[in-house]
Amino acid sequence: MSDVLDLPDVDDAWDWMAACEERGWGDGLPMVPPTEERVAAMLAGAPRVDLGPLPPRGVTPTLRSVAANAVMAGCRPADLPVLLAALAAVQDEAYNLHGTLATTHPCAPMVLVSGPVRDALGINAGGNCLGQGTRANAVIGRALSLVLLHVGGARPGVLDRSTQGSPAKYTYCCGESDDSPWPSLAVRRGFGADEGVVSVMAAEPPHNVNDHGSTTGAEILLTVAGTMAQPGSNNVYVRGPHLLLLGPEHAATLHRDGWTPETIRAHLWEHARIPVEHVSPGNRRQFVEWGVEPDGPPHDRAYTVSDDPANLHIAVAGGAGKHSAWIPSFGGTALVSRRVP
């Protein structure tokens, strides 16, 4: 998408949508026409950031092109700094943007927003935070995907080779809850409690962890470990990060029993293991080619779900109900955090 758009008729919503479809613009949902006036309003007071070329095309986005995509996604000017922080984060070498955009895996950029900016923008960190109904969650995640589509060129079926994709490719954004018994993930990663922080990871959609029966933290973690220990995840052989979004009720029980994010991830590292007999012989051979072998005694050998317990990240989000969410990643990526400018 060029920096200056050759816009079709923006006064007729149906004509505008048809013209976008003909040009290969957009994600299939209605978009706001990025008129000169709307882009100028989006840019008013925008922070200056240095952005590099976006794979797969290798085009460097200008602030104006990012603003145009933000308009199309339905963003407000106040949302732009969070979008820019997320865009800078996915450009970190450790995130592996080219690999995550061109893979057959269904990953999408998952955006977790922490700190005061979350409330200032009305980003939902409570009930249904990964679902529909909150503008900020919907448009920020969508705007990031549109930039990667229009500027980076990650067009489905062309450069984005995802076998099936997922609804997370439309938008994947939520807030980190203050309803947590521990310091936030952002604080534990070295940021100040008063700073706005965006953390991104190339992730699968959330996998529900339903546990209404357990009465102790250890029981809850048994359920979590069992959910994580499945052989279809990229993390088994590509390794890489996971994100465990604990619901506030599960987090409260764990905290009551003396668990911390550090002891939780150490426990899951030891107990979220995939028995060898749950992995097909063909997959076992492929794992060996990737340098991944099971460990443990001969009668009880199993695969770990990552290469290091430090790759198991813990945060709290959600509302009432005894549910949590395990979010595995593409594997060859990292959880990258950036301050909101």
Q: What is the 3-state secondary structure (H, E, C) of 14-64?
A: HHHHHHHHHHCCCCCCCCCCCCHHHHHHHHCCCCCCCCCCECCCCECCCHH
Residue 242 bridge partners (DSSP): 312, 328
**Residue-level pLDDT at 166:** 96
Say how many C-beta atoms besides its own lie within 10 A of residue 109's C-beta. 27
261 prior amide bond cis, ω within 30: no
At residue 142, what is the residue type?
R
Question: Among residues 264, 285, 267, which one has the least CA distance to residue 276?
Answer: 285
Phi then psi for residue 228, to 5 deg, are -75, -25
What is the tens place of the pLDDT at every residue in 143-182?
999 999 999 999 998 889 999 999 999 999 999 999 999 9
Pairing of β 242-246 and β 323-328: antiparallel
Residues of the chain with pLDDT under 70: 1-6
Which residue shows structure tokens 């048994």? 222
**Residue-level pLDDT at 132:** 96
Task: For the sheet with 242-246, list strands across it.
Answer: 207-210, 323-328, 242-246, 312-316
